[in-house]
Copies of this chain bind each other. A is one copy, B any other.
Amino acid sequence: MAKTTATQQTILTSARRHFMEHGFKSASLNRIVADAGYTKGAFYGYYASKEELFDALVSQTSQGLAQAMGNVTAGWTGYPESEQLEHLDEAFFAQLPELADFIVSHRDDLRLILTRSAGTRYEGFLDSLVENNTKHIEPLLARMGLGNMDPDTYRLLMTAYYGTLVRIATGGYTKDEIVAKMRDVQIVFQGGIMTLLQEQGAAKKRED
CA distance A187 to B189 in the complex (A): 11
Contact in complex: B188, A157 (CB < 8 Å)? yes
Whole-angstrom distance from the CB of A12 to the nearest CB of chain B? 23
Minimum CB distance partner of A44 in chain B: B30
Quick one: given A181-B153, A192-B195, A193-B188, are A164 and B168 in contact (CB under 8 Å)? no
Most buried by B among A23, A164, A191: A191
Contact pick for A192, options B150, B163, B189, CB 8 Å = B189
Chain copies in complex? 4
Which residues of A are in contact with B by a Cβ distance under 8 Å? 23, 25-26, 118-119, 150, 152-153, 156-157, 159-161, 163-164, 167-168, 181, 184-185, 187-196, 199
Whole-angstrom distance from the CB of A74 to the nearest CB of chain B? 26
Q: With a CB–CB cut-off of 8 A, which chain B residues contact A150? A: 181, 184
Q: Which 10 A-B pairs have the closest CB atoms?
A: A191-B195, A192-B192, A188-B192, A160-B164, A160-B160, A191-B192, A187-B196, A188-B196, A153-B184, A153-B181
CA distance A167 to B67 in the complex (A): 27
Q: With a CB–CB cut-off of 8 A, which chain B residues contact A159? A: 164, 167
